[in-house]
A and B are shown apart, each in its own frame.
Chain A
Amino acid sequence: MNFPGSGIFKGMVVSAINLFGSYFDRAHAKRLITEQYPEERPTLPEASRSFPFLVFDGDPEKGIRCVACKICEKECPPQCILIEQDRDENGKLLRRPKVFNIDISVCMGCQICVESCPFESIRMDNIYEVSSYDRFDSLVLPKEKLLKSNEYYHSIHPTEAAETDARIEAARLKKEAAAKAAAQKMAAAKAAAEAKAAAEQSSQPESQA
Chain B
Amino acid sequence: MNFIDLLKRIPEICKTPETLPLEGKKLILDFVTWLGSLVGIAVPPWVLTLVNILVVIVAIIAVFLIMFALMSVWERKILARAQNRYGPNRVGPWGLFQPVADGIKMLTKEDIVPRNADKVVHFIAPIVMLVPALILPVLLPYGRGMVAIDLSVGILFFFAVGAGSEVAIFLAGWSSRNKYSILGAMRAIAQMISYELPLVMSAVIVALVAGTLSPTGIVEAQGGYQFGFFPNWFVFTPWGFVACVLFYFSALAESNRSPFDLPEGESELVAGHLTEYSGFKYALFFMAEYVGMFAINGLLVTLFLGGYQAPLPFLTFIPSWCWFFIKLAFLAFSLVWVRATMPRFRIDQMMQFAWKFMLPMSFAALFSAAAWHYAGRGLLGWGISAVLVAIPYFALGYFCFTRHHSADNRRYLFSE
CB within 8 A of B340: which of A7, A15, A23, A36? A15
Contacts of A20 in B (CB 8 A): 81
A19/B78 contact (C-beta < 8 A), A4-B394, A4-B398 known: yes
Of residues A3, A19, A20, which shows the largest number of chain B Cβ atoms within 10 Å of its Cβ? Answer: A19
Decide if B85 is an interface residue (CB 8 Å cutoff): yes
Contacts of B89 in A (CB 8 A): 36
Decide if B338 is an interface residue (CB 8 Å cutoff): yes
Decide if B49 is an interface residue (CB 8 Å cutoff): no
Decide if A87 is an interface residue (CB 8 Å cutoff): no
Decide if B37 is an interface residue (CB 8 Å cutoff): no
Decide if A180 is an interface residue (CB 8 Å cutoff): no
Decide if A12 is an interface residue (CB 8 Å cutoff): yes
Task: Tell me if B's interface is mostly helix, strand, loop or mixed.
Answer: helix
Decide if B112 is an interface residue (CB 8 Å cutoff): no
Of residues B81, B393, B396, B407, which shows the largest number of chain A Cβ atoms within 10 Å of its Cβ? Answer: B81
For chain B, give the interface size range: 20 to 34
Contact indicator B398/A22 (Cβ below 8 Å): no
Contact indicator B397/A19 (Cβ below 8 Å): no
Contacts of B226 in A (CB 8 A): none
A8/B84 contact (C-beta < 8 A), A3-B394, A3-B397, A16-B337 known: no
Of residues A4, A5, A14, which shows the largest number of chain B Cβ atoms within 10 Å of its Cβ? Answer: A4
- Closest residue of chain B to A21 (Cβ to Cβ) is B84
A19/B86 contact (C-beta < 8 A), A3-B394, A4-B393, A4-B398 known: no
CB within 8 A of B341: which of A2, A11, A34? A11
Instruction: List B residues 320-377 near A (Cβ within 8 Å).
Output: 337-338, 340-342
- Closest residue of chain B to A2 (Cβ to Cβ) is B408
Contact indicator A19/B81 (Cβ below 8 Å): yes
Decide if A31 is an interface residue (CB 8 Å cutoff): yes
Could you tell me the distance in whole angstroms from the C-beta of B398 to the nearest C-beta in chain A?
7
Contact indicator B408/A4 (Cβ below 8 Å): no
- Closest residue of chain A to B402 (Cβ to Cβ) is A4
Number of CB contacts from chain A to chain B under 8 A: 50
Decide if B94 is an interface residue (CB 8 Å cutoff): no
Decide if B401 is an interface residue (CB 8 Å cutoff): yes
Contact indicator B340/A19 (Cβ below 8 Å): yes
Could you tell me the distance in whole angstroms from the C-beta of B198 to the nearest C-beta in chain A?
16
Contacts of B85 in A (CB 8 A): 32, 34
CB within 8 A of A12: which of B84, B341, B396, B402? B341
Contact indicator A5/B84 (Cβ below 8 Å): no
Could you tell me the distance in whole angstroms from the C-beta of A21 to the nearest C-beta in chain B?
8
Could you tell me the distance in whole angstroms from the C-beta of A22 to the nearest C-beta in chain B?
5
CA A6 to CA B36, docked complex, whole Å = 64
Chain A count of residues within 8 A CB distance of the other chain: 21
- Closest residue of chain A to B393 (Cβ to Cβ) is A4
Contact indicator B86/A18 (Cβ below 8 Å): no
Contact indicator A23/B81 (Cβ below 8 Å): yes
Decide if B82 is an interface residue (CB 8 Å cutoff): yes
Instruction: List B residues 375-408 near A (Cβ within 8 Å).
Output: 393-394, 396-398, 401-402, 407-408
Contacts of A11 in B (CB 8 A): 341-342
Contacts of A22 in B (CB 8 A): 81-82, 84
Decide if B83 is an interface residue (CB 8 Å cutoff): yes
CA A114 to CA B276, docked complex, whole Å = 51
A32/B86 contact (C-beta < 8 A), A4-B397, A5-B397, A19-B81 known: yes
Contacts of A32 in B (CB 8 A): 84-86
Could you tell me the distance in whole angstroms from the C-beta of A56 to the nearest C-beta in chain B?
41
Contacts of A14 in B (CB 8 A): 341
Contact indicator A18/B397 (Cβ below 8 Å): no
Of residues B85, B338, B341, B401, which shows the largest number of chain A Cβ atoms within 10 Å of its Cβ? Answer: B341
CA A16 to CA B79, docked complex, whole Å = 11
Cβ proximity bits B66-89 to A, threshold 8 Å, 1 near / 0 not: 000000000000100111111001
Contacts of A12 in B (CB 8 A): 337-338, 341
3 smallest A-B Cβ distances: which pairs?
A4-B397, A19-B82, A15-B341
**What are 11 residue pairs bridging A and B, where the CB atoms are less than 8 Å apart in the complex?**
A5-B397, A8-B342, A11-B341, A11-B342, A15-B82, A15-B337, A16-B82, A18-B83, A18-B84, A32-B85, A33-B84
Residues of chain B whose beta carbon lies under 8 Å from any beta carbon of chain A: 78, 81-86, 89, 337-338, 340-342, 393-394, 396-398, 401-402, 407-408
List 12 additional contacts besides A4-B393, A16-B337; criterion CB under 8 Å.
A2-B408, A4-B396, A4-B402, A5-B397, A11-B341, A11-B342, A15-B340, A19-B82, A19-B337, A20-B81, A22-B82, A32-B84
Residues of chain A whose beta carbon lies under 8 Å from any beta carbon of chain B: 2-5, 7-8, 11-12, 14-16, 18-20, 22-23, 31-34, 36
